[in-house]
Structure 1
Amino acid sequence: MPAERTLHVADSTVIVFPDAAAASRAAADRIARVVAEAVPARGKAILGLATGATPERVYDDLAARVKAGSLSFRDVVSYNLDEYYPIQPLDPLSYRYYMHRNLFSRVDLAPNRAHVLDGTVPESAAADHAAEFDRWIEADGGLDVQLLGIGRNGHIGFNEPSELSPAEFAALPTRMVDLHPITKADAVREFGSAEAVIPRALTMGVRQILAARSIIMLATGPKKAPVVTQALKGPITASLPASLLRTVADKVVWLLDEPAAAELG
């Protein structure tokens, strides 16, 4: 099997792995390293976590390390990127349920340290809840690492394509959003039909994501190749949110499998 290779694209570090399993293992390695370094230094590690199909292997790997005794989440605090709105936490389609199934129930993370935006808050209180989420992150000292995936439209979290300037977009806080048509189309796989897709969500803001001390962008599979190339080689624009990662390129690593990197050259 060919070894990984490192590319430097538009000042961004891109590491390409032979397959998705190897890329996911590398993401887990980096998260475990953050925990190992942050806990002795600050008494806790603050992790920003993602959902979807791409990170599932990462969570499997981290859970296996906890089971084996080589990693502990006892001093970890986590903040998830997003949640559909409105949705109950026990709904199998909620991201709270996803995180419980894939990670929280499998590691020694205290329930009161596992933060997911609440899809049950009254709509009149949603803005206050989002602002409180930002305050919690800031009170914890910010994110040590943010794990990201990339949508086919370039979204990060549910920060969807926008007509804002890059500076305005980069300053967006945690908030309620309307999902982009491509995002809704991709969600049909989980929801079963276009009519069943919940059209709104709460998402961590771009400001918090870009402020993380380190950022891991994990992208796998051939469907991600066009948007990965656009994000790394096209203009930096809010119409392709992931392109803004290049404004903080010194603290971002792109972990790709060969199919996702196919159009980078």
Structure 2
Amino acid sequence: MEIHIFDDNAQLDTFAAQYFIDTVTRKPDAVLGLATGSTPIGIYGKLIKLSKEQNVSFRDVTTFNLDEYVGLTKDDEQSYAYYMNHHLFSHIDIPQQMTHLPNGRSADLEADCKAYDRMLEEQRIDVQLLGLGHNGHIGFNEPAPELSGGTHVVNLEEATREANARFFSSLDEVPKQAVTMGVGSILKARAIMLVVRGADKAAIVKRALTGPITTECPASLLQTHPRVIVLLDREAGRMMN
């Protein structure tokens, strides 16, 4: 596990974005696993800027997102489809048909989850970007006695809904379910980049990276992966010294 602690977010964002740029430069048809929420926004901004400065094209790149809320349309401002278009896809030359998210509006969610897994089997992710929840979740894989390996529908914990309520007008508007890539699928990526910011995440960072490997802290399973790059700001990494 490779751990980097940064003094400011601009440095962290630049490091992460350049890693993705280098991946695409080395492999123009790279498969990228992408995340949403507040954590990656600065990374995507830097990625857009660096791709233009370094003349890097995404026309042959394929992307898979970790998750999507159940019930939200693609044009809903709180959907992850909207988020990705707003923060990244509309600013680079990636063809829309090369971008993939779970379908939270599917009439048959189970069948759609299986179809997503088939695509992930056919195109192994080169780099998977992850954030980290306060309870140790990655994607929307919540702590539990056992975890699903593949893409599945999950009931969101109240704490997770409360954490995401800042993006909505009220807690009542936060969906109670999401479709998420499973931990097994995440661990199949060739490389995983975990990005965590903020003092409120310091304890869960330490638990995830150095504590027991347990499904009660899904991120702890990253300890079993051979290529994990961890990017922390100074506050998130304050317990790692």
2:208 equivalent to 1:225: no
2:79 equivalent to 1:94: yes
Q: What is the total number of aligned residue pairs between the two structures? A: 241
TM-score (norm: length of structure 2) = 0.97
| Cα RMSD (Å) | 1.1
> Is the contact between residue 18 and residue 50 of structure 2 (CA under 8 Å) also seen in structure 1?
no
Shift of 1:65: 2.2
Shift of 1:256: 0.6
What's the counterpart of residue 85 of structure 1? 70
List per-residue Cα deviations over 1:41-71 (Å, max 9, x = no partner): xxx1100000011100111011112333532
What's the counterpart of residue 254 of structure 1? 230
2:121 equivalent to 1:159: no
Q: Percent of aligned pairs with the same residue? A: 41
Partner Cα separation in structure 1 for residue 167 and residue 71 of structure 2: 16
List per-residue Cα deviations over 1:89-123 (Å, max 9, x = no partner): 0000000000000000000000000101112111x
Partner Cα separation in structure 1 for residue 50 and residue 16 of structure 2: 13
Partner Cα separation in structure 2 for residue 86 and residue 131 of structure 1: 18
Which of 13, 34, 55 does residue 24 from structure 1 map onto? Answer: 13
TM-score (norm: length of structure 1) = 0.88
What's the counterpart of residue 40 of structure 2? 55
What's the counterpart of residue 211 of structure 1? 188
- Letter of the structure 1 residue corresponding to residue 102 of structure 2: L
2:168 equivalent to 1:191: yes
User: What SS is found at the alignment partner of 1:22?
Assistant: helix
> Is the contact between residue 50 and residue 147 of structure 1 (CA under 8 Å) also seen in structure 2?
yes
Which residues of structure 1 form unaligned runs of 5+? Answer: 1-11
Which of 81, 90, 93 does residue 105 from structure 1 map onto? Answer: 90
Which residues of structure 2 form unaligned runs of 5+? Answer: none
2:219 equivalent to 1:242: yes
List per-residue Cα deviations over 1:2-34 (Å, max 9, x = no partner): xxxxxxxxxx32111111221121111111111
Alignment of 1:66-85 (within 5 A): 66-85=51-70
Partner Cα separation in structure 1 for residue 48 and residue 192 of structure 2: 21
**Deviant stretches of 4+, over 3 Å:** none
- Letter of the structure 1 residue corresponding to residue 24 of structure 2: V
> Is the contact between residue 17 and residue 50 of structure 2 (CA under 8 Å) also seen in structure 1?
no
